[in-house]
Structure 1
């Protein structure tokens, strides 16, 4: 009896995680759409969305003038939480993914490149941090 109850509990937990994962995925897609709209509204041209490489994914790649920018988009309960969730491992992944993209797009020629973070809270209030990643 105990063993069967434990399996049922594990299955329920798996199902709950699957629902949360699907919800989180959709929240991320919606936040990226909001970020794209904000970028376009402010004069940026979108080159790639959800750019997948063998080293990771970059949410948005855009340029404005001579500046190429790799954007990470986060949505959390507060903008502070959204901005705080870019951990060092993810920063490294972003950098490596950008290297891959640059290697596969040799025609891209820009004077400057940077990494920005766009965060949203639960009310879709946007905060945009420029130049968040410096690799030395």
Structure 2
């Protein structure tokens, strides 16, 4: 059983999460990606979650809108384990809502990536980390 988390612990976790997102966004931008949105939400009230980063990966043959989940974890495997099936469903709903609100990107491919940020090394990046359930 995990210990209860008070307001101070939540604020600390919020700061750590924002710092990890900042690091991931800077790292992806250095790779040539365009950050389209941060902490994006889609379809409020329908169980959709928050997308840490929405980015355009234009480094390949065709542009791809990438919905990036960022985790501050010691390894990429630990980060992937932290993304539960329920969270994946919420992210897929949020992505669907974001795409509906931004039809200019409707023709691009779509992918869900994971970036793991550690305090002592470069971010780990898992492309196409999961696919939404159909």
TM-score (norm 2): 0.82
1:37 aligns with 2:26: yes
- CA shift at 1:58, angstroms? 0.3
Runs (5+) with no aligned partner, structure 1:
1-12
Residue 78 to residue 132, structure 1, CA distance change in 2 (3 Å): closer
Per chain length, whose mean CA-contact separation is higher, i.e. which structure has more relative contact order (CA < 8 Å, sep 6+)? 2
1:59 aligns with 2:56: no
Aligned position for 1:10? none
Task: Check the 8 A contact 2:79/2:116 in 1, yes or no.
Answer: yes
Tell me how large the CA RMSD over aligned residues is: 1.8
The runs of at least 4 aligned residues of structure 1 exceeding 6 Å deviation read: none
- CA shift at 1:78, angstroms? 4.2
TM-score (norm 1): 0.81
**Structure (1 or 2) with the larger CA radius of gyration:** 1
Runs (5+) with no aligned partner, structure 2:
none
Quick one: which of 108, 117, 121 aligns to 2:118?
121
Q: Which has the higher helix share?
A: 1
- Corresponding residue SS for 2:51: strand
